[in-house]
Every structure is written in structure tokens, then in C-alpha cells.
Amino acid sequence: MTADDWLARTSTSYDTVAVSYARLVRDLLAEAPYERAALASFAELVRGTGGGPVADVGCGTGRITAHLHTLGVDAFGIDLSPGMIEVARRDHPGLRFEVGSMTDLDLPDGSVAGLVAWYSLIHIPDEEIGGVFTHFRRVVRPGGPLLLGFHVGDETTVKTQGYGGHPMNVHVHRRQPAQVATWLAENGFTVDSQTTVTSAESRLGGIIIGRRLA
């Protein structure tokens, strides 16, 4: 499968489920204290390094972007799916959202104080991860924090239905935290903390907080 193929299928799938997705995931953080703690830690790190804009890459319908704003972070969202961005703008009209891909991140070098990819790397094939992390390093200023959330495991599955029973066609890649940490180290980041959690966000989720090296 070419990059154009899986990107198009992912975008179309999330266009299809956007409205249902927003409704079903809107309150998940209320049931996820460990994830809220990770987001709060990330926000503190952003403020501690001088503040500035933060990119929520793969933002979906904007719930994490909005939560970061409640923590005093100047966050904006980017997502591959125009349908998801349309719902994000509808639900969070005071915030900035734009269509874009983490595989070709259209942001200037060193332009963000930090970056979040919250369960959005799960659709990126292994062979594309290095390129994605290269973009992350390019746009995050030196010393800026990075927060990743992802499903933990060793398998890849194809999701054909979800979020209200609508049809989808996306690959879901589950990965071990050690592998993700290795990829980060290979692409200019240091890992400060990594943990696994079970919550409403994921039956087994991984959370990594790192920093861009100089």
C-alpha cells in the first residue's frame, strides 16, 4: 500500500465517523486521571520553557486541544481529516484548527513550544514513523517537550467499523513503549518518562513525555 493509499483511506474513514466520534469521545478524559496528569505535566513543561504555541497533531475533533487551553496552553490542532476539522471548529469555535498531515507537517522550523500526538500515531506504518518524528523535531524548538499517547501491543489490525457503527478502513498499529522510545532517540529526542495505563482512553495505553534535543 502506498502512502497516498493509506492516508486517503484514513482521511475518508474519519470524515465518515467525525460526528459520532465527537459525541463518543467527548468525555473520555473525565474518566482518565492518569492521562489528565500527563497532560498537566506536559502543560507545566511548556510553561517552564517559556510558553508559546503548541501543536496537537492528529487532533481529531479537538478535545485534547481544548483541554490544553484549560491548562493555560496556547494549543492549536492539525488533522488529516477535513470532516474532523469541521467538527472541531464547530465544537471549539475560539480555537485554531487546520487540515494537515503529520507525514508532511506544514509548520516552520522551530515554530512550536511543544507538540502532542495523542493516539494519532496509531495509523502510521512503521516505515513512516522516522519521517514523522523528523518533522516533529524540525518544528519543535530545542528543549521543547513532546507528549505521545498510543496503544500498546505487538499487532496490527484493520478497523472496518467504529464510532457508531459507521464503516472505516484503517490500520491500527499497537507498539511497545521501548520501540517508540528507540525511534524517538534515533530522531533527536530524549525520553523523560514512559508509562502504561488502562483507562477509558485505551485498554492498554502508552504515554511518553520527551524533549527535543538541541
| pLDDT, tens digit (0-9, with 9 covering 90-100), for 103-141 | 999 999 999 999 999 999 999 999 999 999 999 999 999
Task: Using alpha carbons, select from 95, 97, 69 the residue that is nearest to residue 83.
Answer: 97
pLDDT, tens digit, for every residue of 53-99?
Answer: 999 999 999 999 999 999 999 999 999 999 999 999 999 999 999 99
Question: Parallel, antiparallel, or unpaired for β 145-151 and 74-79?
Answer: unpaired
User: Which domains are present in the chain?
Assistant: 3-212 (3.40.50.150)
